[in-house]
Amino acid sequence: MRDEYDAVIVGSGPNGLAAAITLARAGCSVLVREANATIGGGARSAELTLPGFVHDVCSAVHPLAAGSPFFKTLSLERFGLEWIQPEIPLAHPLDDGSAACLYRDVNFTAEQLRGDSSAYLRLMKPVARNWGKLANEFLQPMLHWPHQPLVLARFGIPALCPATLLSKILFKHEPARALFGGIAAHSFRPLESIASSAFGLVLGIAGHAVGWPIPRGGSQAIANALANYLGELGGKIETNHRVENLNDLPKSRAVLLDVSVWGFLRIAREQLPSAYRRRLESFRHGPGIFKIDYALSEPIPWKAEACRRAGTIHLGGTMDEMAAVERDVARGKIPERPFTLASETPNL
């Protein structure tokens, strides 16, 4: 192991590995240090319940990785990454036993949303067609000069609306409202807040453009493929190595910290200007989430048949019910029936 690098990266989550690859591709020598025994951060998989049942520790479903312009340049299938496309990307069951579904085909999705077909098409189709251009705009640092101002404007005007308002203006019936509301609820913000529609739009459009795929073998396959590519470029990864202080690191021209705000403060405290340190100290995390893993003896007997064919299921009821729940969460209240994402995969 050398004692000097162009860049040291702390944390081997997908962002840390992506940064390491970008630097290594530019000819830099790179070291990644990871606190855990395994790489991947939120993209790890493990036998969390019974032997032989592999679960994702955090992330499971990856429209934004599959649709990422950066990932497209990596050809990670060379390193074993394979996307499984569920027959139906997303189903949202309702209490009457039906389910509103997002299908890959935007026209077919609209046809199923009877009474709201044209509104759904008007909202989704023009931007879904332009996913490639849009993804280039919003899957890069926020502050940049837009390369596609027209496409961005077409997306940005509805995206700025609160999800509750947009769905009520556009849709007359509950299935379309609930489908859109469930996707917007990925924002973990109250659905009445400005720009909460942005999540509904980005993830909805991604569903039509690239699907909501699951990596074969679990999300660990993404981290492993990134790490293998980094290895091919000469980058090094050290696991079981928690960084407590910047002074612990080997000499390097740059240090990148792929850690939380609190982790950043702990590691870099002495080097930070006091005004910046105080700003970081006042950072408050958003609401937490809770995840539970089940080893199933048989598929879940969903009442709505479409749910049995879907990769992701949103359990949240109507738009109004989800809005009430997210309002409670934002006020720090634990809701009786929280908005729940279910992802059921056969052992892959």
Ligand X SMILES: Cc1cc2nc3c(=O)[nH]c(=O)nc-3n(C[C@H](O)[C@H](O)[C@H](O)COP(=O)(O)OP(=O)(O)OC[C@H]3O[C@@H](n4cnc5c(N)ncnc54)[C@H](O)[C@@H]3O)c2cc1C
CB-based contact 15:228 (threshold 8 Å): no
Question: Least distance to ligand X from the beta carbon of 115, Å?
Answer: 31
CB atoms within 10 A of CB 41: 23
Question: Least distance to ligand X from the beta carbon of 113, Å?
Answer: 24
Question: Least distance to ligand X from the beta carbon of 15, Å?
Answer: 3
Question: Least distance to ligand X from the beta carbon of 86, Å?
Answer: 13
Exposed, middle or buried by CB within 10 Å (0-12, 13-18, 19+), for 241? middle
CB-based contact 317:95 (threshold 8 Å): yes
**Interaction of residue 11 with ligand X, rule CB under 6 A:** yes
**Interaction of residue 33 with ligand X, rule CB under 6 A:** yes
In the complex with ligand X, which residue's Cβ is closer, 64 or 233? 64
In the complex with ligand X, which residue's Cβ is closer, 185 or 259? 259
Judged by CB under 6 A, the residue of 16, 93, 200, 235 near ligand X is 16
In the complex with ligand X, which residue's Cβ is closer, 40 or 175? 40
Q: How many helices (H) and strands (E) does the chain have?
A: 14, 12
Exposed, middle or buried by CB within 10 Å (0-12, 13-18, 19+), for 105? exposed
**Interaction of residue 41 with ligand X, rule CB under 6 A:** yes
Q: Which residues contact 264 (CB under 8 A, 6 or more apart)?
A: 257, 280
In the complex with ligand X, which residue's Cβ is closer, 43 or 323? 43
**Interaction of residue 258 with ligand X, rule CB under 6 A:** yes
Read off φ and ψ for residue 241, nearest 5 degrees: -135, 80
Read off φ and ψ for residue 236, nearest 5 degrees: -115, 145
Residues 225-244 that bind ligand X (CB under 6 A): 242-243
**Interaction of residue 206 with ligand X, rule CB under 6 A:** no
Q: Which residues pair with 252 in a beta bridge?
A: 5
Judged by CB under 6 A, the residue of 6, 22, 29, 35 near ligand X is 35
Residues 162-181 that bind ligand X (CB under 6 A): none
Residues at the site binding ligand X, with contacts judged by CB under 6 A: 10-16, 33-36, 41-43, 58-62, 64, 242-243, 258-259, 263, 267, 289, 291
